[in-house]
Amino acid sequence: MKHNRLGRSGLYVSELGLGTNAFGKRADEETSIRVIHAAMDGGIDFIDTANIYAGTESERIIGRALEGRRDRAILTTKAGLPRGEGPNERGSSRRHLQKELESSLKRLKTDYVDLYQIHTFDPYTPLEETLRTLDDFVSSGKVRYVGASNYTAWEFMKALGISEREGFVRYISSQTSYSLADRTPERELIPMCLDQEIGLIPYFPLAGGILSGKYGSGGSAPEGSRAETDPNFNRFMNDSYLELGRRVGEWAAEAGTTPSALSLAWLMRRPAVSTVIAGATNPQQVEANLASTTFEADAELFAKLDEISEPFRRGEPFAVYRLS
**Catalytic residue annotation:** 53
Distance (Å, rounded) from C-alpha 156 to C-alpha 197? 12
User: Measured between alpha carbons, how far apart are the two ends of the chain, in Å?
Assistant: 40
DSSP 87: T
The DSSP code for 200 is: E
Which has the closest alpha carbon to 194: 7, 14, 16, 17? 7
**Cα dihedral across residues 35, 36, 38, 42: positive or negative:** positive
Beta bridge partners of 278: 18
Burial readout 45-54 (b: 16 or more C-beta within 10 A, e: otherwise): bbbbbbbbbb
Residue 198 DSSP label: P
Angle, nearest 10°, between helix axes 29-41 and 57-65?
50
Q: How many CA atoms lie within 13 A of 11 on its CB side?
A: 25
Q: Are 289 and 18 in contact (CB under 8 A)?
A: no
**Quick one: CA dihedral 226, 230, 236, 237, positive or negative?**
positive
Largest CA distance in the chain: 54
Dihedral over Cα of 256, 260, 261, 265: its sign: positive
Instruction: Please give the backbone phi and psi of residue 128, each rounded to the nearest 5 degrees, phi first.
Output: -60, -40
